[in-house]
Amino acid sequence: MPTYHIEMMEGRTVEQKRKLVEEITRVSVEVLGGSPEYVDIVITDIKRENWATGGKLWLERE
Residues that bind a second copy (CB under 8 A): 1-9, 12, 14, 16-28, 30-32, 35-37, 39-46, 49-60
Q: How far is the CB of 18 from a second copy (least distance, A)?
A: 6
> Does 36 qualify as catalytic in the annotation?
no
Check 1, 2, 8, 27 and give the catalytic one.
Answer: 2
d(CA 4, CA 24): 9
Q: How far is the CB of 32 from a second copy (least distance, A)?
A: 6
Residues 6+ apart with CB under 8 A from 24: 4, 6, 39, 41
